[in-house]
Amino acid sequence: MIDGLKPYPEYRDSGLPRLRPIPMHWDVVRMKYVLRETDSRSTSGRETLLSVSQFTGVTPRRKNEGEDGPDITIISKMLTWQ
């Protein structure tokens, strides 16, 4: 995939200890200036709820007591926030 790419002609120190040298014409900016927060909420409540963990990554959230149907814990929390 990157076999045909050529290196940039000049590099400079990024000023950040964990970042390698960057191309001379790149700017270093904070992520908050690049990303945008999005608030997208469910209208039906039928979407699969996900859990995020540094150990397992993104996985479907387990339901209480192995029951079928929506996760009541999350639905009850959603109702109390409104």
What pLDDT, in 10s, does the model give residues 15-48? 888 888 999 999 888 888 999 888 888 888 888 8
The pTM for the full model equals 0.41
pLDDT of residue 57: 84
The residues spanned by each domain of the chain are 11-37+47-81
Residue 1 tokens, joined: 């995939």
Here the tokens at position 6 are 């050529």
CB atoms within 10 A of CB 11: 13
Q: Which amino acid is at 55?
A: F
Residue whose C-alpha is closest to residue 58's, from 67, 47, 66, 49 = 49
